[in-house]
Amino acid sequence: MSVRVFAPAKINLTLEVGRPRADGYHPLQSAVVFASEGDWIEAQAADALTLAITGPFAAGLQADENNLVLRAARLLDPMRGAALKLEKNLPIASGIGGGSSDAAATLLALNELWAIGLPLEDLSRLAAKLGADVPVCLHKRSAWMSGAGETVAPMRTPALHGVLVNPGKPLATPAVYRRFDELALGGMFQPRGARDWARADDVVAAVALCGNDLEAPAVSLMPELGDVLQTLRADPRALCAALSGSGATCFALTQMGEDARAMAETLAARNRDWWVRAATFGAA
């Protein structure tokens, strides 16, 4: 028996970040959606726990005990075995929750393979031990994240079309937050509850208004990001464009799927080093 589970990319449509709290964590609020692009986890019955990594970004990962996939398996049941395969299609350290989504997909796959039968609420409590983003990736639904990312509420978003673009380089989240603090960018934001976006126009307006507070520190660490964002924002097919998470992946939203596919084709042809994908978002 084998179980195969999709691990979609997590996209921060908006991201507001405050100055560090007393515990060192940054308060934030963010509208999150999931993309049609992602990794895959496959779990097959076996006596021992093993992990094989394939896919275009396999070379950047190690199948050791620090890997979130193996950590998720050990957390669910440290005594059982399974042959796990991670098909790594998403860039590494790219601000789209790849590792967290992989861990969440592992919990879902092994919960089924091992016939444990834990409900999502129980799996979410386990997922929180692996990282703040893992619970939201477990549900794979549009959500409003607040606190330090650990508070998650469902929200409505429409089906969206767009492109994902990564300049082909990793960008470590801790480094971006350090630069954010060095630049003294953290301020007070008005706490809000989950958004209710019925139309794509609502999303575009919110992205234009809120944007991503980590864009400036990310661009200062990786100037190529400025080129990516400028290119996206200059394209007449783009309704809006922004950075996802701490980067280095950016997104642009388009009116139609045809626009997204044409835009992705143009960007990929002109920028051979970029990772470019047309995708759909939200309405999970």
What's phi and psi for 4, nearest 5 deg? Answer: -120, 125
- Find where tokens 């019955």 sit: 45
Active-site residues, by number, are 10, 133
Q: Is the peptide bond before 83 cis (omega within 30 degrees of 0)?
A: no
How many angstroms separate the CA atoms of 81 and 91, rounded? Answer: 28
The amino acid sitting at 188 is M
Strand-strand pairing, 151-154 and 49-54 = unpaired
The angle subtended at Cα 282 by Cα 41 and Cα 209, nearest 5°, is 130
Nearest CA-CA partner of 16 in 167, 206, 203: 206
Here the tokens at position 220 are 């200062």
